[in-house]
Structure 1
Amino acid sequence: MARDHLSSSWKRAWLALPAAIVSLFSSAPAFADLKICNRMSYVVEAAIGIDEKAATATRGWFRIDPAACRVVVQGTLTADRILLNARALGVYGASPLPQSGSDTLCVAPGNFVIAAARECRSGQTPVPFTQVTPTQTDDGNMVAYLAEDSEYDDEQARLAGIQRLLLIAGYDAAPIDGVDGPKTQGALASFLKSHNLPADVVQSPNFFATMIDAVQSPSATGLTWCNDTPHKVMAAVATDDGKSVVSRGWYRVDPGKCLHPDIAGQPKQVYSFAEAVDADNRTIKLKDKPLSWGGTKELCTRESKFETNEQGDCTSRGFAATGFAAVEMANGGKTLRFAVP
C-alpha cells in the first residue's frame, strides 16, 4: 500500500521537475496537504498526476476505503494541473468507475513513482487521467472527492460499501443504497457469524480489509474463482435462465486470491472463461498456446468491460466468440481453481 507521506524517491522525483513547483495554490498556507476522500461504495485505488508545463509525474497506488481519506501529497505544490485516476479493486469485477480522461499518463503495478509519466517504459501502462480541482478545507488542506451519482455522505458511503461487499460474499443486503434496515443488519449478522467475527469489528478501521479477505476466500455457495498462478487472471461469467444467456466481464483475480462473481437469481446453467495476462494485459502463452481456462460453449466477449444477452453473430457486433466451460454447481456451490499446467 502506498504510504501517506512523501518517500525519498518521491522527493527525488519532484526535484527533477522545474523549480517553479513550490506550492499547490499560492494562497494556500505552507502546511497544506492534498487529500483524496472516497464517498463511493467501492474500495478504490487512486493514482495522482502533477502536471507542470515542462514535466508530468505520477504516483500511486493509494488504497482508500469508503468514507475514508488519504493524504497523497504532504506539503504544498504549485502546478498547472492536478490529475487523478481511480479504479475499484478487482473484487468488484470490471471497474465500475469511468476510465476516461483527456490525459494519458503512465502507471505501474504496486507502489510507484514515475517522474516522466507521458512516455511509458517497460512495466508501465498508459491510462487516462482526469483533471481535478481540489477545494480548500477549514484547516487549510486541499481535498478532492470521489463520488457516485447517488451523492452519498460519509456515513451512507460506508454503509453502501458494506452492503456491496455483503452481496458479493453471497449475503442478501440489497438494495445498495446506504440506508440501514433489518435486511442489511440480518445479512451483516450472518456474515459475522459465519466468519466467527465479533460484532464490534464492524467499527474497526480495518473492517473493509476483513470483508475483502472473506470475499477472496473459497465459498461453499455460488461460484468461486481461485487464482493459483503467479499471473493476473481476467475472468468472465455467463448465466442461462432458460430464456437468454447473459455473458459479463471482466473480473480481475489477483495471484493467490479468490473472487466470487455476482450471479443473480437461480440460473439453470452457469458458464466460465478465464485467461492469464501480463502487466500490459496481453494474454500469456505457454508453448505458443494461451494460458486460459474455458470450454466449447461459444459466447460473446470483448476486450473491454462488457455485458450482453445477445450471443449470435458476435463478430459483426464488435465482440469475439469465446469458448466458455459449463460449470456444474453441485450442492449450490463450485470453486474453479486456475493453475499452470
Structure 2
Amino acid sequence: MARHRMPFSWSFSPMAARARSSTHRLASAALVAAGLCLAATAAQAETRLCNRTSIVTEAAIGVMASDTAATRGWFRLDPGQCRAILQTAEAPGRLFLHTRAIGEPQNTSLGQPEHVTLCVGEGDFLVSGATACARPNTRMVAFSEVRPTVVEAIAVLFLSEAADYDLPQARRAGIQRLLARMGYDPGPVDGLEGPRTDAALRSFIADRALPADAAASPDIFDTLLSAWRAGEGPGFAWCNETGHRIMASLGVDEGGRIVTRGWYRVDPGTCLKPPVELGAARVYSFAEAVDRDGRPVQAAGKPLVFGGDIPGCVRPAEFEIGGTDCAAHNARATGFLAVTFDGRRRASVRFRE
C-alpha cells in the first residue's frame, strides 16, 4: 500500500549553529540518555515542542553525541498544545525528532525529511544505544534533525502546517479535522470560527450527551478520538475488531446498477469511514482479512471474508467496477452485504472473528 501524505509540510524554527564542546562529542550512552530525562519539577530552562498543526501527534526525540545516541517518547501533543521535552535549552548533542499522526490513516507521512534512523519503543520508553535495536518491542524509525529557537533560556520547536496556524487556530483546526472524519461536516479545516463548525460541534456534543462547554475541555481530543475509533457520527463506517488487517470494498447504487470500489484498509482496533453520498439509502460491503504481506488469512481452511449475498465484483488491485459482469472487467464475483442506514443517517459494519 502507498504511504498517505498530508497536504502540508512540517517546519522547524531555526537557530544559529552552536559549537559543541569535546565533552559533548565524547559523551557516553548513559550521559546522553540522562540528558533526555525530564526533571520531576518545573525547570528554569527547558526545550518545548509546540504543535501548530491540525493533527493529534505523538513525538519521540533523540540525542546524538559522537557515535552514541539515545531516544525517548512518546510525547502526545494535541493541536495547539506545547510540552516540555527536555529539562535544558541546550541538548547534550545533536537533537532529532520523529513524529506520528494520530487519527489519520496508518503510515501517513508527515512530510519530514529523514536524516538518521534510530530505535524507538512503545508507551513511555527510553532507549540508550539507540543506533540499533537490541530489546523486544522496539523498532528502527527515521528521525529528522531539528534546531530550536532559544529565547531567555527557553528553547522552542514548532510543528507547523502550510496553513501557518497559530496555537488557538491549530486547536480549532484539529477539532474540525476530527469532526469531518466522523461525518459531521464542519466545513473547511481552516482553524476559523464559523456557523458550520459551530453546528457540527453542537451535533457532536448532543450525540455524546456532553456539557455545552465540552469544546473548551482539555480532554476534548481524547473524546473526539474515542468517538472516531468507535465509528460514531453520521455516515457509514467499517470497524475492525479482529487482530488482522482488513481490506474492504464498498458498493453503491449508481444509475440502477451497483458500482464497487476498493480497496480500503482498516487496521485492527480502528474504524474507517469511506466516502458515501449523503442521499444514499444503502451501501454494500465486502471485506477480507490479510496478513502483513497482503496474503489472505485462512480460518478453518478458508479465506476469512466478510460479505453477503448481493452479487458484486472485486479485483486484486485498486479498482472501480460498474455492474455485475465480472468477467468483462477481468474481476472475480463475490457476495456483498447490503447495509441500510438508520433514521439518523448512520450505519456500520463491525468485523469480528
Once the two structures are superposed, the pairs formed by residues 1-341 of structure 1 within 5 Å of their partners are 17=29, 19=31, 31-89=44-102, 91-94=103-106, 95-98=108-111, 100-121=113-134, 122-138=136-152, 140-219=153-232, 221-229=234-242, 231=243, 233=245, 238=250, 242=254, 247=262, 249-254=264-269, 258-266=270-278, 271=285, 273=287, 275=289, 293=305, 297-299=313-315, 326-331=336-341, 332-340=345-353
1:177 is paired with a residue whose SS is: coil
Distance 1:97 1:203 in 2: 27
Q: Do 1:21 and 1:79's aligned partners in 2 also have CA atoms closer than 8 Å?
A: no
User: Which AA in structure 1 matches 2:214?
Assistant: V
| Sequence identity (%) | 31
**Code of the aligned partner of 1:55:** T
Q: Match of 2:218, SS?
A: coil
CA deviation after TM superposition for structure 1 residue 285, in Å: 6.2
Q: Deviations over 1:37-88 (max 9, x none)?
A: 1111111111111111121111111111000012122235544421111111
Whole-angstrom distance in 2 between the partners of 1:35 and 1:289? 54
How has the CA–CA distance of structure 1 residues 119 and 270 changed in structure 2, closer, same or farther, with 3 Å as cutoff?
A: farther
1:323 shift after superposition:
10
| TM-aligned CA deviation for residue 109 of structure 1 | 2.5
TM-score, scaled to structure 1: 0.72
Deviations 1:182-237 (A, max 9, x none): 111111111111111112111111111111112222437433333434x4746555
Please, which moves more after superposition, 71-80 or 41-50?
Answer: 71-80
When structure 1 is superposed on structure 2, of 197-206 and 107-116 the one drifting more is 107-116
- TM-superposed deviation, 1:337: 2.5
Q: 1:31, 1:323 → 2: CA distance? A: 67
CA-atom RMSD, angstroms? 3.8
Report if aligned partners of 1:275, 1:290 keep a CA contact under 8 Å in 2: no
Q: TM-score, normalised by structure 2?
A: 0.70
Letter in 2 for 1:158: R
- The answer on whether the counterparts of 1:35 and 1:142 sit within 8 Å (CA) in structure 2 is yes
Match of 1:42, as an amino acid?
I
Structure 1 residues 325 and 294: CA distance shift in structure 2, 3 A: farther
Deviation at 1:284, TM superposition (A): 10
CA contact (8 A) 1:16 1:115 kept: no
- Between 1:69-78 and 1:321-330, the stretch displaced more is 321-330
The CA distance in 2 between the partners of 1:264 and 1:44, in whole Å, is 28
For residue 199 of structure 1, give the secondary structure of its aligned residue in structure 2: coil
CA distance, structure 2, for counterparts of residue 160 and residue 186 of structure 1? 15
Q: How far apart, in 2, do the equivalents of 1:283 and 1:79 lie?
A: 46
1:153-184 deviation per Cα after TM superposition (whole angstroms, max 9, x unaligned): 11211111111111112201121111211111
Hey, what's the Cα distance between the residues in 2 that align with 1:189 and 1:53?
54
Residue of structure 2 equivalent to 1:5: none
Q: Distance in 1 between matches of 2:351 and 2:222?
A: 24
- CA deviations on 1:312-340 (whole Å, 9 max, x unpaired) are xxxxxxxxx99997453312544333334
Deviates more, 1:205-214 or 1:281-290: 281-290
Distance 1:294 1:323 in 2: 14
Task: Tell me the distance in 2 between the aligned counterparts of 1:176 and 1:20.
Answer: 40
Distance 1:223 1:324, change over 3 A: farther
